Amino acid sequence: QKEVEQDPGPLSVPEGAIVSLNCTYSNSAFQYFMWYRQYSRKGPELLMYTYSSGNKEDGRFTAQVDKSSKYISLFIRDSQPSDSATYLCAMSNTGNQFYFGTGTSLTVIP
């Protein structure tokens, strides 16, 4: 079993829709959770960084962590064509070893 599971998609939504991206994990020791956005032929860009359970909001983005279910989510409100990218989840237990999902490809259609 992989440490982190992420549905690869692809996911296609109309502009303005709410997008929900999810990852599950198996290691209950994970404490730090990250979401990255990666455009084609570019490096991943950090979107959200959270510690432990709960919600964190930044503009149109909300990261949610449910440690009891070993499940994290990223919500994108009012999605825009510029949000079209691959979204990677990542997590860590020590702060120096990171485990990544395989990424979900998102297309927002104008």
Partner 1 sequence: DGGITQSPKYLFRKEGQNVTLSCEQNLNHDAMYWYRQDPGQGLRLIYYSQIVNDFQKGDIAEGYSVSREKKESFPLTVTSAQKNPTAFYLCASSIGTGFNSPLHFGNGTRLTVT
Helix (H) or strand (E) holding 87: strand 85-92
Is residue 44 at the binding interface for partner 1, with CB under 8 A as the rule?
Answer: yes
Q: Pick the binder of partner 1 from 9, 11, 49, 75 (CB under 8 A).
A: 49
Amino acid 37 reads R
46: contact with partner 1 by CB under 8 A: yes
Name the DSSP class of 3.
S
Does position 43 interact with partner 1 (CB under 8 A)? The reply is yes
Kindly report the backbone phi and psi dihedral angles of residue 5, in degrees, each rounded to the nearest multiple of 5, phi listed first.
-115, 135
3-state secondary structure of 7: coil
Contact 47, 36 (CB under 8 A): yes
32 binding partner 1? (CB under 8 A): yes
Residue 31 tokens, joined: 């404490």
Which listed range, 17-25, 28-36, 53-61, 77-85, lies at the site for partner 1 (CB under 8 A)? 28-36
Residue of 18, 42, 77, 78 interacting with partner 1 (CB under 8 A): 42
Residue 95 engages partner 1 in binding (rule: CB under 8 A): yes
From CA 18, how far away is CA 70, in angstroms rounded? Answer: 22
Which residues of the chain form contacts with partner 1 (CB under 8 A)? 8, 32, 34, 36, 41-46, 49, 51, 88, 90, 94-96, 98, 100-103
